[in-house]
Chain A
Amino acid sequence: MAGNATEPVIEVNEATVRFGKLTAVDRLSLRVDHGEVFGLLGPNGSGKTTLIRALCGLIPLAGGSARVLGHDASREAEAIRSTIGYMSQKFSLYEDLTARENMDFYAGIYGLNVSEARVRQSELVERLGLGPYLDRWSGRLSGGWKQRLALACALLHRPRLVFLDEPTAGIDPVARRDLWDLLFQLAAEDVTLFVTTHYMDEAERCGRVGYISLGHLLAVGTPEELKHWPGVTPSGTRRLEISGGDIAALLGRLRDHPAVRQATIFGQAIHALVDNEVTPESLGLGAAQVRQAEPSLEDVFVTLSRAQQQAPNGGGS
């Protein structure tokens, strides 16, 4: 039996996935340990979904290796598939089946026997609050409930690792928070979670975060580690948060200023990376308030992407 507490749950070594000429995942290495909540971020088309598919043995690796729960992804895909849960990016349960029928179907597919299935289903229904929706066609549920149902189906067989591909895309903030609360409960029960997302606040909640762009994993670490990565705030520079006044006009002025390396709007404020010598007065900010700021995760990812674009070979760590 594979998967004792010390062995990594996911171990990827120099894995490469190609679609014809396109390299969707490029020599990617990664390790996720038991009980972690691992977040994978990256722009559209960066290879997040492809990586997950490759880890489940759905797409063959063109190079390198991947082990999931102690099984080789290319040779032992079936063993992997019976011990993982998967929630795809797009709702992919049967819309013309009721919530209950969908759960019954997946219980059968995972080989649960009838009494086992009944116990597990009522447990999940209670936990996810699905009770009132059991007899509705799943296609007619709202986004948040669809996601919960999909999660329930993915958890029926008590998987030890769950892949969630953008589980909160397109659902409202309250439903989003509820779903994350559920994910943390799962993590507390020793289930390892591999989550992709485009939301920074979700990334902040993950134990560790990886940032992938153009198939390259550019950085991995806890959110704190990433923020203090020296590349984000190079020596001789500092980060300022500028608020108040006409934000749009200020942004234009900052971007034209030679000593400003980056300037981005965050809600009601501008985050700017400026040379140390520059004083707020010399930037001509007028009445705007200026204070020293910590880099956010978004700053980190913006910096990483820019660095990748400027690198001569278009990528690589």
Chain B
Amino acid sequence: MIRKGLSIKRLVSVTRKEVIHILRDPATLFFAVVIPVLELLMLGYAIDTNVRHVRTIVFDEARTQESRALLRRFENAEDFSIVGEVFTDRDLGEALVSGRARVGIKVPENYSRRLQAGQTGQVLILVDGSESSVAAEAVNVSNAIALSESLDRLVAGRALPVEARPRVLFNPDTRSPNFFIPGLLVVLCQMMAMMLTANAIVREKEKGTLEQLFMTPVRASELMVGKMLPYLGFTVLEFCGIALLMNTIFGVPIRGNFLTLLAIALPFFLAMLGVGLWISTRAQTRDASLQMAMGTVIPSIFLSGYVFPLDSMPTFFRYLAQAVPTTWMIDASRGVILRGAGWAELWPNAAVLSGMAVLALVSSTAMFRKRVS
């Protein structure tokens, strides 16, 4: 029996047809283009986990020069923004319960007297613990403010004996968008690649067009590759588009070479498209394929270090994460974008992702072939 290689003519026909499908289906186009951009904007603004401008209410019972100096320190710290002043303990409590403020500061009436008497001046900081990261940050910063106020009073103009000067490399402002968006870039492209391809074959199954195709000489591999090419193109465009938005709107600088990143992303995309096609050959309906795609994307996102740092995971999950392509890609993305890493550091990522791509493509094509005949 004759087994030639791929027929370019058949491949091109499949690809062209698939492009027409995509362009004629507004829902898919919307899903592919608009949704990821919206998600980027929403998440990009929302996931700024650095605590800033925590709504704070003050109750200055002392009303002295010292109390005002202390409160000014809070006002000047970026972390707090004073949204009001109250004059009774009851109002202070109410402001926190109602959620009008997350932090309440009470300087008691005897504050200055105690300071002048050489005693410890106590300040009450009430923190709403319902948002743990806000609470922890508020507690830390208030401690720091109290400490520096104390030091200033103790050393009174002399130089401090010790001063630590931490310098955060690679993300100097410890801005969380810088940390999250390179990961988000990967996650959004992964979602799109998988959702689109998961549909690619089921759609033909549902409509009955696959049966007609099976009666022609087209090969499983030609169908697979032909269907994959347009989605690969879309994903690459999406990747570049999101990277551009990241750079312009969120001001995340790309320290390394973007082309290096793109070259590493290519096998990652192929792996995702392969998994999507694999799902598509297994599922009988579009709903089922969408569910399977979601069921694959979500755990891979949680395992990948996109949300929870890998270092803080239990050992078992840390090993499991190594089997997830997203893990390797997010690492490469942060490497290139934040640390300016290049081939020398990232070749293992590229190698692992390439292996995963080959595995996904070969197994999905094999899967499909079995079902053709």
> Which A residues have a C-beta under 8 Å from some C-beta of B?
56-58, 60, 75-79, 81-82, 84, 86, 88, 90-97, 101, 104-111, 113
Contact, CB under 8 Å: B17 / A97: yes
Of B2, B12, B13, B17, which one neighbours A78 at CB under 8 angstroms?
B2
Contacts of A79 in B (CB 8 A): 1-2
Contacts of B21 in A (CB 8 A): 94, 96-97
Indicate whether B7 reaches chain A with its CB closer than 8 angstroms: yes
Contact, CB under 8 Å: A56 / B217: no
Contact, CB under 8 Å: A108 / B20: no
Given known contacts A58-B214, A110-B216, A97 and B20 CB-to-CB distance under 8 angstroms: yes
Given known contacts A84-B215, A86-B215, A109-B216, A92 and B1 CB-to-CB distance under 8 angstroms: no
Of A77, A84, A97, which one neighbours B373 at CB under 8 angstroms?
A77
Of all A-B residue pairs in the complex, the 8 with the closest CB atoms, nearest first, are A108-B13, A86-B215, A82-B217, A92-B212, A92-B208, A96-B24, A105-B17, A92-B209
Q: Which of B1-37 contact A (CB under 8 A)?
A: 1-2, 7, 9-10, 12-14, 16-17, 20-21, 24-25
Given known contacts A94-B21, A94-B209, A95-B207, A105 and B16 CB-to-CB distance under 8 angstroms: yes
Task: Point out which of A92, A101, A104, A107 has the most chain B C-beta atoms below 10 A from its C-beta.
Answer: A92
Contact, CB under 8 Å: A108 / B9: yes
Given known contacts A96-B25, A101-B20, A110 and B217 CB-to-CB distance under 8 angstroms: yes
Task: Point out which of B12, B21, B213, B214 has the most chain A C-beta atoms below 10 A from its C-beta.
Answer: B214
Task: Point out which of A78, A84, A109 has the most chain B C-beta atoms below 10 A from its C-beta.
Answer: A109
Contact, CB under 8 Å: B209 / A101: no
Cα of A92 to Cα of B215 in the assembled complex, Å? 11
Q: Shortest distance in angstroms between B5's beta carbon and chain A's nearest beta carbon?
A: 13
Contact, CB under 8 Å: A92 / B207: yes
Indicate whether B218 reaches chain A with its CB closer than 8 angstroms: yes
Contact, CB under 8 Å: A78 / B209: no
Cα of A57 to Cα of B212 in the assembled complex, Å? 13
Of A95, A97, A111, which one neighbours B10 at CB under 8 angstroms?
A111
Contact, CB under 8 Å: B17 / A88: no
Cα of A5 to Cα of B216 in the assembled complex, Å? 24
Closest to B216 in A: A109
Contacts of A106 in B (CB 8 A): 216
Of A56, A93, A95, which one neighbours B215 at CB under 8 angstroms?
A56
Q: Shortest distance in angstroms between B156's beta carbon and chain A's nearest beta carbon?
A: 80
Indicate whether B211 reaches chain A with its CB closer than 8 angstroms: yes
Cα of A58 to Cα of B208 in the assembled complex, Å? 14
Contacts of B2 in A (CB 8 A): 78-79
Contact, CB under 8 Å: A88 / B211: yes
Closest to A111 in B: B9
How many of chain B's residues have a CB under 8 angstroms from any CB in A?
27
Q: Shortest distance in angstroms between B299's beta carbon and chain A's nearest beta carbon?
A: 34
Cα of A94 to Cα of B21 in the assembled complex, Å? 9
Cα of A161 to Cα of B334 in the assembled complex, Å? 59
Contact, CB under 8 Å: A105 / B13: yes
Task: Point out which of B7, B25, B209 has the most chain A C-beta atoms below 10 A from its C-beta.
Answer: B209
Cα of A273 to Cα of B115 in the assembled complex, Å? 122
Cα of A109 to Cα of B13 in the assembled complex, Å? 6
Q: List 23 A-B contacts (CB under 8 A).
A: A56-B215, A58-B211, A77-B373, A79-B1, A84-B215, A86-B212, A92-B211, A93-B209, A95-B207, A96-B20, A96-B21, A96-B24, A96-B25, A97-B24, A101-B20, A104-B13, A105-B16, A106-B216, A107-B13, A108-B9, A109-B14, A109-B216, A110-B217
* Extra inter-chain contacts (18) besides given A60-B373, A92-B207, A109-B217, CB under 8 Å: A56-B214, A57-B373, A58-B373, A76-B1, A81-B216, A84-B215, A86-B212, A86-B215, A91-B208, A96-B24, A97-B17, A97-B20, A97-B24, A108-B12, A108-B16, A109-B216, A110-B216, A111-B9
Contacts of B9 in A (CB 8 A): 108, 111, 113
Given known contacts A78-B217, A81-B215, A109-B10, A94 and B208 CB-to-CB distance under 8 angstroms: no
Contacts of B215 in A (CB 8 A): 56, 58, 81, 84, 86, 88
Q: Shortest distance in angstroms between A160's beta carbon and chain B's nearest beta carbon?
A: 14
Contact, CB under 8 Å: B217 / A81: yes
Cα of A56 to Cα of B213 in the assembled complex, Å? 12
Closest to A71 in B: B1
Q: What is the 8 Å Cβ interface bit string for chain B, positions 215-230, against chain A (1 contact, 0 not)?
A: 1111000000000000
Contacts of B25 in A (CB 8 A): 96
Cα of A97 to Cα of B21 in the assembled complex, Å? 8
Closest to A137 in B: B24
